[in-house]
Amino acid sequence: MINFQLTDDQLALQEKAREFALNEVLPISQHYDQTGEFPRKIIARAHKAGLMNLGIPKEYGGPDYGSLDSVLVVEEFSAACAGMTTSIYVNDLGLAPIILGGSEAQKQKWLPPLTKELRFVSFATSEPGMGSDVAGIKCSYERKGDDFILNGNKFWITNGNHADLFVIFARQTGSERHTGLSAFIVPADTEGLSTGKPLKKLGHRASDTAAVILRDVKVPAENLLSTEGMGFLLAMMTFVKTRPAIGAMATGLARSAMEYAINFAKQREAFGKKISSFQAIQDMTADMYARIEAIRLLTWKAAWMVDQKTDGNLANVASSCAKLIGAEDAMKIVTDALQIYGGKGYLEQYPIQKLFRDAKLYQIYEGTSQIQRYVISRYLFKEYNPIMKNF
Ligand SMILES: Cc1cc2nc3c(=O)[nH]c(=O)nc-3n(C[C@H](O)[C@H](O)[C@H](O)COP(=O)(O)OP(=O)(O)OC[C@H]3O[C@@H](n4cnc5c(N)ncnc54)[C@H](O)[C@@H]3O)c2cc1C
């Protein structure tokens, strides 16, 4: 049976996130976008309110929210500020490999401290020479006695300058492609690990993005996640779990873009009439609403499949659909919303340009739109079972 009714607990969680986003995040979102400061204070408040590290299970002190619960929260936050949302919820990306691939001892050691105080976890697959092609990671490791020694450069690492902990993906020296990759928990204060200056970006300026440099970084064997050679699979399993959240971010941002556009259209006059009376403007807003409904449904479905632990590849494809269509439609919606603002949409003093800049990232990080299409088409050509059999 299909049921789109949220539970009372989910409605309460959504309301709590909405209030926090409207009262604490929205009023200062322009400030952090303009200054590029890291919003530590506000993130600390989100942490205190129990709106961070959503996926940490109860037995490790976390709120134990499912994927569907999480996307409700994330939509509200990103409707207020996409950059802060990325800063806050990248922890769930960093934590996922520990939750999915960590031993009981690793979970007991690394998860509870995150719930007690504000600590940041960064996820690092990307490098200066690769992002999409995860099997092409060059950052290397070698076993030396009870330790692994890591060398290489990571790039584009969200919250890199603020991370207390990194989950770093590296390749056994001399290995090839997928099978040689492993994942390690690396505390930020480990000797030999350093970070670069915050990278200046088009949008998401309230989130820090940095290079991470590893020079003979000694990681104890007990910090290896899962087993050697499982790094690629762990990264892919992580994305299945986290891509619905990008669909939710896209939904939240698109919702705000639509609301700004409607509000503007009700006030602006041209040819002696409110522009909201023009069919062309009404059509654009109607399309926005319909697309937002569609991407929210795709996001909820993907999140639900993750919660149901649906067969890996079907959840994988659903997550890619939510991320792909979410990102593409959010870009289209915010482009039309800016169009409704006319010339004012192009000015810094109006909020819509920030949303326009922020939306672009959804088509790039956690797998570009081209990579989501690759995931979906690979399923279609290899596994999809056609309904019409007689070709
Ligand atoms: C602000 C920001 C934050 C980020 N945060 C993180 C983070 O926290 N951790 C992390 O590990 N990474 C992070 N990333 C990196 C991000 O995941 C990569 O930028 C992304 O995966 C794309 O990789 P790339 O930039 O190397 O582009 P490339 O992989 O070089 O791709 C370039 C172009 O080619 C296309 N392309 C590549 N391969 C194919 C193919 N097989 N078929 C069709 N088209 C293809 C791509 O879609 C893209 O259009 C972040 C990036 C940004 C911009």
Q: Do the beta carbons of residue 337 and residue 263 sit within 8 Å?
A: no
Distance (angstroms) between ligand 1 centre and the Cα of 327 equals 14
Q: Which of 338, 310, 306 is nearest to 322 (CA)?
A: 306
Degrees (nearest 5) of the Cα angle 258, 263, 266? 125
Nearest CA to ligand 1 atom 48: 368
Query: Which fold does the domain 121-229 belong to in CATH?
Result: Butyryl-CoA Dehydrogenase, subunit A; domain 2 (2.40.110)
Distance (angstroms) between ligand 1 centre and the Cα of 260 equals 30
pLDDT over threshold 90, residue 312: no
pLDDT at 284: 98
pLDDT at 221: 98
* Distance separating alpha carbons of residues 62 and 116, to the nearest angstrom: 9
Q: Which residue has the higher pLDDT, 127 or 389?
A: 127
Active-site pick, 24, 127, 328, 366? 366
Residue 301 banded pLDDT, cuts 50, 70, 90: very high
Q: Which of 300, 187, 183 is nearest to 237 (CA)?
A: 183
What b/e sequence results for 66-79 when a residue is b if at least 16 CB atoms lie within 10 Å of its CB, and e otherwise?
A: ebbbbbbbbbbbbb
Strand segments (E) across 162-313? 165-172, 181-187, 193-195, 209-220, 224-225, 269-270, 273-274
Q: Average pLDDT for residues 372-386, to the nearest whole number?
A: 96
Nearest CA to ligand 1 atom 24: 131
Nearest CA to ligand 1 atom 2: 156
Tell me the sheet residues that pair with 165: 121, 187
Residues of the chain with CATH 1.20.140.10: 232-382
Tell me the sheet residues that pair with 384: none
Nearest CA to ligand 1 atom 29: 132
Q: Average pLDDT for residues 330-338, to the nearest whole number?
A: 98
For ligand 1, whether the C-beta of 377 sits within 6 Å is: no
Distance (angstroms) between ligand 1 centre and the Cα of 292 equals 25
Distance (angstroms) between ligand 1 centre and the Cα of 114 equals 28
* Distance separating alpha carbons of residues 99 and 165, to the nearest angstrom: 14
Q: Average pLDDT for residues 331-359, to the nearest whole number?
A: 98
Q: Average pLDDT for residues 247-275, to the nearest whole number?
A: 98
Q: Which of 106-115, 352-361, 382-391 has the lowest mean pLDDT?
A: 382-391
Residues of the chain with CATH 1.10.540.10: 8-116
123's enclosing H/E stretch is: strand 121-124
Query: Which fold does the domain 232-382 belong to in CATH?
Result: Butyryl-CoA Dehydrogenase, subunit A; domain 3 (1.20.140)
For ligand 1, whether the C-beta of 364 sits within 6 Å is: yes
pLDDT at 229: 97
pLDDT at 21: 98
Closest ligand 1 atom to 364 CA? 20
* Distance separating alpha carbons of residues 309 and 65, to the nearest angstrom: 14
Q: Exposed, middle or buried: residue 174 (CB in 10 Å: 0-12, 13-18, 19+)?
A: exposed
In testing the pocket of ligand 1, which one of 91, 126, 204 has its CB within 8 Å of the most ligand atoms? 126
311's enclosing H/E stretch is: none
pLDDT at 389: 84
SS3 290: helix
For ligand 1, whether the C-beta of 126 sits within 6 Å is: yes
Nearest CA to ligand 1 atom 32: 132
* Distance separating alpha carbons of residues 353 and 218, to the nearest angstrom: 44
Q: Which of 112-116, 180-184, 312-316, 345-349 has the lowest mean pLDDT?
A: 312-316
pLDDT at 1: 73
* Distance separating alpha carbons of residues 55 and 63, to the nearest angstrom: 7
For ligand 1, whether the C-beta of 124 sits within 6 Å is: yes
For ligand 1, whether the C-beta of 374 sits within 6 Å is: yes
Q: Which residue has the tokens 């940095």?
A: 210
DSSP annotation of 209 reads E
Per-residue pLDDT of 102-160, as tens digits, reads 999 999 999 999 999 999 999 999 999 999 999 999 999 999 999 999 999 999 999 99
Q: Do the beta carbons of residue 251 and residue 295 sit within 8 Å?
A: yes
As a whole-number percent, the residues of the chain with pLDDT over 90 amount to 98
Q: What architecture is domain 8-116?
A: Orthogonal Bundle (1.10)
Nearest CA to ligand 1 atom 17: 365
Closest ligand 1 atom to 201 CA? 1
Closest ligand 1 atom to 129 CA? 26
Q: Exposed, middle or buried: residue 267 (CB in 10 Å: 0-12, 13-18, 19+)?
A: exposed
pLDDT at 390: 74
Q: Which long-range contacts (CB under 8 A, 24 or more apart) does 102-108 make?
A: 102/185, 102/225, 102/226, 105/222, 106/185, 106/222, 106/223, 106/225, 107/60, 108/60
Q: Do the beta carbons of residue 254 and residue 288 sit within 8 Å?
A: yes
Residues of the chain with CATH 2.40.110.10: 121-229
Distance (angstroms) between ligand 1 centre and the Cα of 268 equals 39
For ligand 1, whether the C-beta of 362 sits within 6 Å is: no
The tally of CA atoms less than 13 A away on the side-chain side of residue 147 is 9
Active site residue 104: no
pLDDT over threshold 90, residue 391: no
Distance (angstroms) between ligand 1 centre and the Cα of 367 equals 6
Average pLDDT, the chain: 97
Distance (angstroms) between ligand 1 centre and the Cα of 365 equals 6
Nearest CA to ligand 1 atom 26: 131
Q: Do the beta carbons of residue 306 and residue 67 sit within 8 Å?
A: yes
